Chains A and B, each alone.
Chain A
Amino acid sequence: MAFTLFSLIAGLTFGIGLLLSGMANPEKVLGFLDLAGQWDPSLALVMVGAIVVGIVAFRLAAKRGQTLLGGDVRLPTKSDIDIRLVVGSVLFGAGWGLAGFCPGPGLVAMGAGEHKAVVFVIAMLAGMAVFELLEKRRSQS
């Protein structure tokens, strides 16, 4: 129960951070991605703010080896830099540049009642489902 509650709080906090930073606004994100136009560097500072806090948190977690609740810390185990990582990141970056939405801001803008964000999230879920189907087919062949 506590696990689910803290997860909800983390999601809420994350969403508020996205709204405060301006990242929930696709036009602001595209302003950052438009290097050749009128460039808005704000997004770089969002990353700086998040990473400074994040480095402290990951150091603490590594030092403790377990969570404050006494549970296990699950970090990603993959470390290989392979073709899947690069191709996936290229596809994601292209989608991000098309509409200015990445997954978090899409969900937040949906919560704000934006119809286009609802459509974006449905398409994103469909994309994820397509990925699962392709993976299933790959593992069978």
Chain B
Amino acid sequence: MIDVAWAQFTPWTALAGGAVIGVAAAILLLLNGRIAGISGILGGILTTSPTDIPWRAAFVAGLVLAPLAWMMFAGLPPIQINAGYPVIIAAGLLVGIGTRYGSGCTSGHGVCGISRLSPRSLVATATFMAAGFITVYVIRHLIGGF
């Protein structure tokens, strides 16, 4: 049986935040005609033609500046990172290689791909979710944490 952490469950901010993420993807799609796939936008900076760099860099800058914009109106929500530096580095390398090899991440496949009912993105999302569930299971319940 699944033991739900009701004390941590935040349905309304999760739904609202998700809708805002959807609006962000809609802005990029309807105004610029581009997919809000963050790994693709970021990875493209390393490879595409120079004329393509400004919009990609601007999108990434928007993400990085979001906490500053938020702090003009309210205190930042908690950002708790328990993993140590070696784990963080391994995670970053895996995420970098994996998202490029699999052509997308939680935003490109998970949000945009599923929104346009792409079977390829459905498979990718199911796969990385399953890999995430298994990884956390192994770390927390088999190894007992780092």
Do A and B form a real pair? yes
> Which A residues fall within an 8 A CB radius of B?
2-28, 30-31, 33-58, 60-62, 64, 66-69, 71-76, 78-81, 84-104, 106-114, 116-117, 119-132
Partner of B14, one of A42, A52, A55, A58: A42
Closest to B92 in A: A123
Contact A25 B46 (CB under 8 A): no
Partner of B22, one of A50, A71, A125: A50
Contact B5 A21 (CB under 8 A): no
Which residues in B have their C-beta under 8 angstroms from that of A102? 38, 95, 99, 105-107
Contact B13 A11 (CB under 8 A): no
Contact B17 A23 (CB under 8 A): yes
Contact B32 A42 (CB under 8 A): no
Give CA–CA (A131, B135) in the complex, Å: 22
Contact code string B110-146 (vs A, CB < 8 Å = 1, else 0) = 1111111111100111011111111111011100000
Which residues in B have their C-beta under 8 angstroms from that of A57? 22, 25-26, 29-30, 115
Which residues in A have their C-beta under 8 angstroms from that of B96? 95, 123-131
The majority secondary structure among interface residues of chain B is helix
A21 touching B18 in the complex, CB below 8 Å, given contacts A58-B29, A97-B132:
yes
Give me 17 other A-B pairs in contact (C-beta within 8 A), A27-B81, A55-B117 excluded: A7-B59, A10-B32, A12-B63, A13-B62, A20-B77, A49-B16, A50-B19, A51-B115, A76-B118, A89-B102, A89-B127, A91-B102, A95-B95, A104-B106, A111-B63, A114-B81, A124-B42
Which of A14, A58, A78 has most B Cβ within 10 Å? A14
A126 touching B58 in the complex, CB below 8 Å, given contacts A25-B80, A49-B21, A120-B88:
no
Give CA–CA (A102, B27) in the complex, Å: 21
Q: Nearest Cβ distance between residue B99 and chain A, in whole angstroms?
A: 5
Contact B105 A122 (CB under 8 A): no
Q: Nearest Cβ distance between residue A76 and chain B, in whole angstroms?
A: 6
Which residues in A have their C-beta under 8 angstroms from that of B22? 17, 49-54, 57
Contact A90 B128 (CB under 8 A): yes
Contact A49 B131 (CB under 8 A): no
Contact B127 A90 (CB under 8 A): yes
Partner of B81, one of A13, A26, A68: A26
